[in-house]
Structure 1
Amino acid sequence: MEPPRGIWHKTTVESTTLQQRTFHTTTLAGNKRPHTDDTGSSYRPSTAERAVQFQRASTLGRELPELTASTIEAIDSDSTAPTSEYSQRRAVPATPTSAVDRSLSLSFPRYGLPDSLVNNLTSLGIKDIYPWQKQCLLGPGLLNGTKNLVYSAPTGGGKSLVADILMLKRVLEDSDAKALLVLPYVALVQEKVRWLRNIVHGLRRKLPSNDDVPEKEQTSLWQRRADEDSVRVVGFFGGGKVRATWSDFDIGVCTFEKANTLINTAINECTITKLRSVVLDELHMVDDDHRGYLMELIATKLLSLGHEVQIVGMSATLQNIDLLSRWLNAHTYCTFYRPVPIEEHLVHEGNIYPASSTSGLLKTASQLASGSNASQLQNQPVRIVHPSPHKEFKDPVLNAVVALATETAKSGFGALYVVAPFVPKLHSPQIRNFYEKYGYRYKLNRALRNSSLDPTILEKRLDLLADLRSLSTGLDPNLAETIPSGVAFHHAGLTTEERDLIANAYDNGVLKILTATCSLAAGINLPARRVILHNARMGRDLIGPSMLRQMRGRAGRKGKDEIGETYLCCRKDDLKDVVELMHAELPEISSGLTTDRHRIQRALLEVIAIRLANSRDTVLDYIQRTLLNLSIAPDIIEAHVESSLRDLTEMEFIQSESDLYTATQLGKAVVASSLEPEDGAFVHREMQRALRAFVMDGEMHVLYMFTPVHDLSVSVNWQVFRSEMERLDDSGLRVMTFLGLKPTQVNKMAQGGNLKETTPEEKETARIYRRFYLALQLRDICNEMPVHMVSRKYDVPRGAVQTLGQTCQGFAAGMIKFCEQMNWGAMAAILDHFSDRLNAGAKSDLLALAKVTFIKSRTARVFYENGFKTVAAIANADPKELVPVLMQAQPSKVRLKTKDEQKYEEKLLAKAKVIADSANRLWQMEMMQQVYEE
């Protein structure tokens, strides 16, 4: 049911659309791809009918009545709200441009950027910079690299460009210079690599002539690569057999762990002087107890080196920026400017209030709690969400969420809907299923199902379904139902390929509403016209001010929206806490080295192992350069240092003689494998036990050995554990016995028992049980069981299975280095082979085929069984011959009408061409290698 015409024209999105005709949306982006008519049937279902076929097939016969979102009515008000901190753009509409201020042009001589770089940025839509970016770049000593920088700017305010320019200047001014860009998540690393490669495309660095190079180094000039003057951008994350060196890249985009390892290696090999720039993104995570402390280790080691390397730290949420400035000896800059301002709102009991006045909102909360009449409130609502006649929308929070999201989608904009209610006594998979099957996205879909939409968009959504369907995991039935309506979910339970397809579709306007969890919404770069937050809790606890600001910062698309909107919906009991949260100060950042995880032990072990410190004085000098030294009292730090050195000595990681510290072989192995000291001690005990009696007549023992030991908070399904244990052969049972795992204990847990974790011995035993449970999943992956089947078997998300495989590859690479450092060559070789199998998801006979793009696991087996047993066989095949094989490799799926099957085959043919090209390249390399060997 459409809202009354008068009311509809008063809604925020619609009224804005009417007033500003220049808004650009992506609704009609792209052109409809023509299709040839089928000759076998006279009936041609419309695009809308085929979309309904997807939905009905996925519901398996469940026909539910359609829902109608509630109407939203604007309230006339003469009150003027104060300007939000995010609304500078609106308050100062006459923002200068490069036509007025020449220094806002990237070609301004003082920036010293080459024309090719300026042209590349222009082609990517960056023609000018903002005034705050100019002021920041022109800070003392920044452009010439003699001063470090710490700065803060809102999400979407253009902060990354400042770091990119400074980093590229360091790399371009010296042909030997290297730079590292450090990011928290793999997805961000992959996205940034793509972006930087576009920026540096075609750039050329001036190479030194023989006159500029010492005579003993001149011979190396004749050995340069053909592209030696280009700028190579390489991403580093996960595992890898080849140890990365400076010669492999010019700009390395790394996760925290990889950056720390690269710097350790370079310091140890005395090549660190080539490093000229290090950018630390999301600097507020430096006090994160899980991984952020690695940023402190990275920066402190660089500060201790004594050579010029420019450190640039940035974040959208930095409170005590002065402390970070003192730590890094950096110039600081802070701005609240956003090119797309954000209007923030609080939604309570169907009333929408502006969130710009702290005192007014707190008073309103108090008045509402005391039961005051709405007309007497100081803060009047600006809009009202009318109650819904549907019983499904009786909850006022859910009703408001659906109404706001539906209004956004119908107006042609995108909404990012963040959902994180607490569902008691449910583990993660159950919560995920609750969201997907019975929750908010599901009801959003029902509210939008029959919305009129341009056929071009429906075609694109069907294309998206075809892309998802062509993946090895098949098409998720929940996505099959909701995507035709423009609704999808984006969470860690999806595979990387699924998340990429959904994110791209949303970014291009094909999808209009995306639901995500709190943590994912803060980490993904998917801006929206509206960000709608369902409550402000993760589990039982309120989220922090930093995460709230990160999520709100996703609102507003530069170049697509002139404004962004955030709506935080809260329940009556949470009103006061949520209002205080919305206006709470950001928490002050402190060091993460003094938590109960003993991070300072790792810091000391690393600097001793890489010989950055070897005496008590040099250790203390290193500690004085940490953020820790500015966070707590000196006597407390000294006590931590003394106890940590003593613990490292007792664990036989370091040894001291005449007040000089050196790392033992074991200590060097722990550092080389990037393990925490506690995890390193556990791995050493496990390895020593394996070396005494290794079970070689099966796979379980070696799979167990490269199953990660860190972050084993996995939820074990003990019924599945018992079932898999009962299927183990004699070799697998011997491994369990050898590891100290008891079948009686597994049976007890499967019947509802508890696994004791009181003493250190009990904690270690519990760790072994969890590790063995993960090893069972790895066994299935290595034996070609598809990811979606492993997911179903162990009751875990598909994305979690994929992440486990990727994590294990990284851990296996660390274990190989550990064994090599300990001179355990045979164990390293075994782990190396199984690392290949894990990467391929296949048995040994398919490892060669698995090197071909898109051919992994079950797909490789299907190719093998159809006669394509070698890379050469695939290389010499016509891509059309490969399509039927790819069809066989797909999981069971809903059969569609002929026209949709044709589109599906077109997708597979495109994939077959990529496979054939990849096989051709590999085959040519094999042929060349054979020629050289002869």
Structure 2
Amino acid sequence: MRIVPDGRRNSVALADVPPLSRRCHVRIRTKDCEKCHPIAHFDRTAVTAPSSLHFQCRSLHHSRHPVMSHNWQPNEPSPVGIWHKTTLQEAREQQELQRQQNQPFHQRPVLTTTTTNVVIGQKRSINDVRPQLYNGPPTLKRPTPGPSNTPTPGFTPSAFIKAPSGPPPLTASTIDYADPIATAAKGGIPSEYSQRRALPSTPTSTSDPLLSLSHPAYKLPRQLVANFASLGIKTIYPWQKQCLLGPGLLSGDKNLVYSAPTGGGKSLVADLLMLKRVLDDPAGEAKAILVLPYVALVQEKVRWLRNVVGGISRSGDLGQKQPHLEGKQQLWARRPDKDTIRVVGFFGGSKMRATCADFDVAVCTMEKANSLVNAAITDCSISKLRAVVLDECHMIDDGYRGYLLELMTTKLLCLDQQVQIIAMSATLTNISLLKDWLGGHSYETHYRPVPIEEHLVYDGKIYPATTTASLLKTATQLDTRNATTTTTTTTTTTAQGPPPFTTSSLQHIRFIHPSLHREFKDPVLNAVVALANETARAGYGVLVFSSSRAGCESDAVLISRVLPSFQEADPLIRERRLDLLNDLRSSSTGLDPKLEQTIPCGVAFHHAGLTTEERELIANAYDAGTLKVCVATASLAAGINLPARRVILHGARMGIDLVGPAMLRQMRGRAGRKGKDEVGETYLCCRRNDLEAVVDLMHADLPQITSCLVSDERRIRRALLEVIAIKLATSREALDEYVGRTMLACEQRLAEKETEEWEDQIRGYIEIGLEKLKEMGFITVTVDERFETASYSTTKLGGAIVASSLDPEDGVFIHKELERSLKGFVMDGEMHVLYNFTPVSGLGNGTSINWKVFWNEMEKLDESGLRVMSFLGLKPVVLNRMLQGGILKETTDEEKDTARRYHRFYLALQLRDLCNEVPIHRVAQRYDVPRGTVQTLAQTCQGFAAGMIKFCEAMGWGAMAAALDHFADRLKAGARADLLSLSKITFVKSRTARVFWDNGFKTVAVIANADPKELVPVLMQAQPNKVRLEVKDEQKYLDKLLAKAKIITDSANRIWQIEMQQELMEEE
């Protein structure tokens, strides 16, 4: 047999091939090929001489490779490598190769080969098929690098630590310009990413000194200016300067509401005004509250503000003596950060009994902010509050959560204290309503430091979205008309000329070629993948929004298959991606199989099904450039801050419904990264049946915000109950005044209605709400006959509902449940307590019952758990009926309460597992839910548990409150009672705490006095997955664990010191 050049690109041929009667593998060694596999594989079941076999290099961009020629005579043993391979040998070779890849590189054996004479057609013995370290012809040796021949990437050490290989790679469709002939005539158009955009430059402080933060007009501390500079903010934009210098804003005398596009720098204005109010207080007691809609944004903002205020000393003497504490040691005075700005985050599952003494700047969700204001008014510390910032204030008309912003803000407007309210949003249309309501200034800008180019992708064609609305509507109508009149189209065109719509009337600028892969037959999916591939290969970041979690993961996998492989990536990027994989593998939930497949190619997905730790690692890796493509759900568009050069919308739906105009702008507003991109791009890829709706959506005006207090009677009832409970309004006149300060009343006034008309409406709302509250037993009315006045006060139940931040309707159900529990609380188990920790509202969101799992878990319950089920009225016969496809009725109020109990008990089963140190991912597998849903459930129940404890305390049920408090600590720790003290330490939770306990570290003091190096083996033992690494990577891994161990010992030291101080205080 001879190997000869074939004359085709990347191809050779085998000449003089003898007859073969069985399947054979012909392997040819190529020389100096660094971009493709060093061995070419040929499979042929039967070859008759003369014949030839052809191969083509896997790397299509390579030129023809020189090959080593070998001559072979049919009557001689083969020196080249026509040899038979048994299934047994193939399996053993794969097993040996996998074993080698799991070994550190320095421990791997040297690859050697032995010469074996193989006669064609002769069956070999078992000794001839012993596993060989080199998977190739016996007579061919692995190439050794010479002086001018560097080793190929396939044999570098990093190749042995690579991520597991996934499905075969695919090729993305190419994208071309619509008119290549005209383009060539004009000299050609440069690549989409090679051209420099001619953009107007932003003015600097050289041309306008007021653009510098250090300008005396702003009166900012030097340290604060230096901190902003270290974070990359040295100057501000002209619109920010104009906004800040508005009359009375820097002094805090005026409120402000303003609107700026996403990415336009609106947060900086609020940060400066808020921090200035805190720092300018001469007594050093000023407080501020920043309200954000989502927990992820709260956590991100806390990290940002702590960097901003780092090293800044407060005005005034915080250590001065206070008369009411004279003679007592003040623990807070000994805090290391007593003179600094304390930035604290408050959200679901965080500290419930928060007061103004716990923070200087509080970053809260809407619910926590409302609770903080209620507590501050009750304990008369509201006078310390100087500023309140409402971010994403357009959500004020959200009936589920946003209406709490209106309740809280109205309370602040009714106070005599001067609290500066700063409201901002990127999607405000009727900004005048908020301006009149807050009684302050308004400012509106459309400036973006990075301009956005918007496109619509339809049927493989890319249209500029800003100019084709009416034409696309015409195209849709014509498509519909042509579908019904196909028989007359030809004659009409011939007799009367072309129809009104032609190709020239609706010009697309680029088009995407159809794909030959069956995976990309869907033109929308093909467009998404092609656009993502184009940007990622150019080195820019891509953010893809999908309609569901499953769509997220599917899109990420397909995009990863068209991008360069792990071996083709830059060595530094490879190392960082391996670090990311190891970090995810070392997390409490382990590494997701799909992320393990996509991350090596620079792609990941980001949705609520992932845990907080996973989402944070992915977001940081994307922001650092380690990942090039991030696929997220549309519902997280407002909850993540991940800007990108190109934003791609895989449809415009969230589930089965179209997204709203505000949400669409949130997603498209993520395009463009200041300092990294010259321009941002958005591509909305839609289907034929969505085309007209999508065009309307893209050019729709944002809906005007309105008050939602009276759209549901429960909201006005909660508003009245809260102001009565905190004694802000206890008379009918005061209640009228309070409701008259709401946005609802302001909206009625601006509607140009007669004064008497809207006043009568307001009084009607109040009257109905008060009557219902009296009927529910939440308030009492005391009538003073002498003055003919009535005063309102809350009952014990009404006060408990407000103290626990419950909705009044939910409070009724909770009161009945707890009151019944007092008569027969099951104390010899944990199910009854955990049942009371499960929330009563929002149960339909990701908490549907898997009745088969419910049945299986019921069968595992002990006698105590079964008694709880019986006490709650939960029947096995109902579970059996539901298991067979029955329906849980929710028609009457009684049936709704029964359905609630089934849902709550099902959630309590998950909480039971978490409290008994079952890892989150195991609970998720057992109950067939995403692990992120389990973690969210645990965090939600932690906050709800704190509310239940407050409810019991307010009702005077001290014993039940103590029992609930104990299990709340277990729920937060995710551990049994013996680990509660250890779980207070940073990074020591659940499984990690148990490993520390088992290794003899059973108290905080022992860990506090331990050498961090002693903790490294314990942390290695606590890892859910054992990772085998090369020597250098293993050392890096140990360094990370050592850094983590130092944080643990520092945290243990702080906790131990506080415990010692408390003991000293008790002894005195």
User: Which residue in 2 is equivalent to 1:910?
Assistant: 1043
Deviates more, 1:561-570 or 1:95-104: 95-104
User: Which residue in 1 is equivalent to 2:531?
Assistant: 404
User: Which residue in 1 is equivalent to 2:563?
Assistant: 448
Partner residue of 1:348 out of 448, 458, 463 = 458
Relative to structure 1, is the Cα distance of residues 716 and 691 closer, same or farther in structure 2, using a 3 angstrom cutoff? same
User: Which residue in 2 is equivalent to 1:706?
Assistant: 837
User: Which residue in 1 is equivalent to 2:156?
Assistant: 46
- After TM superposition, give the deviation of residue 225 of structure 1 in Å: 3.0
Structure 1 CA distance for aligned equivalents of residues 885 and 819 of structure 2: 34
- After TM superposition, give the deviation of residue 886 of structure 1 in Å: 2.8
Structure 1 CA distance for aligned equivalents of residues 1052 and 881 of structure 2: 51
User: Which residue in 2 is equivalent to 1:321?
Assistant: 431
1:73 partner letter: D
Relative to structure 1, is the Cα distance of residues 284 and 745 closer, same or farther in structure 2, using a 3 angstrom cutoff? same
Partner residue of 2:911 out of 778, 794, 797 = 778
SS of 2:462's equivalent in the other structure is strand
2:527 partner letter: A
User: Which residue in 2 is equivalent to 1:387?
Assistant: 514
Partner residue of 2:212 out of 105, 129, 132 = 105
1:105-161 Cα shifts (integer Å, max 9, x gaps): 112222222222222212211111111111111222212111111100000000001
Partner residue of 1:419 out of 534, 546, 551 = 546
Deviates more, 1:750-759 or 1:589-598: 589-598
> For residues 62-101 of structure 1, what are the structure 2 equivalents within 5 Å?
64-76=167-179, 93-101=200-208
SS of 2:683's equivalent in the other structure is strand
Mapped contact 1:47–1:458 kept (Cα < 8 A): no
Partner residue of 2:679 out of 563, 581, 584 = 563
SS of 1:531's equivalent in the other structure is strand
Structure 2 CA distance for aligned equivalents of residues 98 and 755 of structure 1: 67
The alignment status of 1:790 with 2:923, answered yes or no, reads: yes
Partner residue of 1:154 out of 261, 268, 282 = 261
Mapped contact 2:552–2:631 kept (Cα < 8 A): no
> For residues 175-254 of structure 1, what are the structure 2 equivalents within 5 Å?
175-207=284-316, 225=333, 227-240=337-350, 243-254=353-364
Structure 1: unaligned runs, 5 residues or longer = 6-35, 80-88, 422-431
Partner residue of 1:656 out of 781, 788, 792 = 781
1:816-873 Cα shifts (integer Å, max 9, x gaps): 1111111110011001100110111111111122122211112222222233322333
Structure 2: unaligned runs, 5 residues or longer = 1-57, 63-102, 111-153, 184-195, 483-498, 749-757, 784-789
Structure 2 CA distance for aligned equivalents of residues 848 and 322 of structure 1: 53
Partner residue of 1:695 out of 808, 826, 833 = 826
TM-score w.r.t. the length of structure 1 is: 0.89
2:536 partner letter: A
1:274 partner letter: K
Mapped contact 1:288–1:592 kept (Cα < 8 A): yes
Structure 1 CA distance for aligned equivalents of residues 900 and 252 of structure 2: 47
1:75 partner letter: A
Partner residue of 2:670 out of 554, 562, 576 = 554
Structure 2 CA distance for aligned equivalents of residues 244 and 393 of structure 1: 53
Partner residue of 2:960 out of 819, 827, 843 = 827
The alignment status of 1:470 with 2:586, answered yes or no, reads: yes
Relative to structure 1, is the Cα distance of residues 844 and 508 closer, same or farther in structure 2, using a 3 angstrom cutoff? same
1:423-470 Cα shifts (integer Å, max 9, x gaps): xxxxxxxxx45643xx21111111115273211001000001111111
Mapped contact 1:848–1:870 kept (Cα < 8 A): yes
Structure 2 CA distance for aligned equivalents of residues 50 and 595 of structure 1: 63
Mapped contact 1:51–1:458 kept (Cα < 8 A): no
> For residues 482-631 of structure 1, what are the structure 2 equivalents within 5 Å?
482-596=598-712, 598-631=714-747
Structure 1 CA distance for aligned equivalents of residues 1061 and 705 of structure 2: 55
Mapped contact 2:637–2:663 kept (Cα < 8 A): no
- After TM superposition, give the deviation of residue 572 of structure 1 in Å: 0.8
Structure 1 CA distance for aligned equivalents of residues 422 and 441 of structure 2: 10
Relative to structure 1, is the Cα distance of residues 217 and 361 closer, same or farther in structure 2, using a 3 angstrom cutoff? farther
Structure 2 CA distance for aligned equivalents of residues 268 and 650 of structure 1: 25
- After TM superposition, give the deviation of residue 209 of structure 1 in Å: 11
Mapped contact 1:363–1:378 kept (Cα < 8 A): no
1:693 partner letter: G
Name the one with the larger helix percent.
1
Structure 1 CA distance for aligned equivalents of residues 109 and 437 of structure 2: 74
- After TM superposition, give the deviation of residue 637 of structure 1 in Å: 3.8
Structure 2 CA distance for aligned equivalents of residues 108 and 615 of structure 1: 50
User: Which residue in 2 is equivalent to 1:480?
Assistant: 596
Structure 2 CA distance for aligned equivalents of residues 169 and 910 of structure 1: 36
SS of 2:792's equivalent in the other structure is strand
- After TM superposition, give the deviation of residue 508 of structure 1 in Å: 0.4
Larger radius of gyration: 2
SS of 2:539's equivalent in the other structure is coil
SS of 1:204's equivalent in the other structure is coil
Structure 2 CA distance for aligned equivalents of residues 116 and 603 of structure 1: 42
TM-score w.r.t. the length of structure 2 is: 0.78
- After TM superposition, give the deviation of residue 595 of structure 1 in Å: 3.1
User: Which residue in 1 is equivalent to 2:129?
Assistant: none
The alignment status of 1:735 with 2:865, answered yes or no, reads: no
Structure 2 CA distance for aligned equivalents of residues 312 and 678 of structure 1: 32
- RMSD over equivalenced CA pairs, Å: 2.8
- After TM superposition, give the deviation of residue 693 of structure 1 in Å: 1.0
Deviates more, 1:879-888 or 1:65-74: 879-888
Mapped contact 2:983–2:990 kept (Cα < 8 A): yes
Structure 1 CA distance for aligned equivalents of residues 313 and 1039 of structure 2: 39
- After TM superposition, give the deviation of residue 188 of structure 1 in Å: 0.9
- After TM superposition, give the deviation of residue 884 of structure 1 in Å: 3.4
1:56-92 Cα shifts (integer Å, max 9, x gaps): 3xx5xxxx3210011111234999xxxxxxxxx9897
Mapped contact 1:493–1:797 kept (Cα < 8 A): yes
Deviates more, 1:673-682 or 1:866-875: 866-875
Relative to structure 1, is the Cα distance of residues 440 and 218 closer, same or farther in structure 2, using a 3 angstrom cutoff? closer
Mapped contact 1:604–1:645 kept (Cα < 8 A): yes
- After TM superposition, give the deviation of residue 797 of structure 1 in Å: 1.0
SS of 2:983's equivalent in the other structure is helix
SS of 1:184's equivalent in the other structure is coil
The alignment status of 1:142 with 2:249, answered yes or no, reads: yes
User: Which residue in 2 is equivalent to 1:667?
Assistant: 798
Deviates more, 1:90-99 or 1:858-867: 90-99
- After TM superposition, give the deviation of residue 891 of structure 1 in Å: 2.6
SS of 1:305's equivalent in the other structure is coil
Relative to structure 1, is the Cα distance of residues 487 and 858 closer, same or farther in structure 2, using a 3 angstrom cutoff? same
1:72 partner letter: I
Mapped contact 2:524–2:687 kept (Cα < 8 A): yes
Deviates more, 1:475-484 or 1:39-48: 39-48
SS of 2:333's equivalent in the other structure is coil
User: Which residue in 1 is equivalent to 2:812?
Assistant: 681
Structure 1 CA distance for aligned equivalents of residues 104 and 1015 of structure 2: 24
Mapped contact 1:284–1:317 kept (Cα < 8 A): yes
Q: How many residues align?
A: 874
Structure 2 CA distance for aligned equivalents of residues 305 and 91 of structure 1: 52
Relative to structure 1, is the Cα distance of residues 893 and 482 closer, same or farther in structure 2, using a 3 angstrom cutoff? farther
2:579 partner letter: D
Q: Which has the higher contact order (CA 8 A, sep 6+)?
A: 1
Relative to structure 1, is the Cα distance of residues 634 and 74 closer, same or farther in structure 2, using a 3 angstrom cutoff? farther
Partner residue of 1:638 out of 744, 748, 763 = 763
Relative to structure 1, is the Cα distance of residues 338 and 681 closer, same or farther in structure 2, using a 3 angstrom cutoff? same
Structure 2 CA distance for aligned equivalents of residues 71 and 201 of structure 1: 49
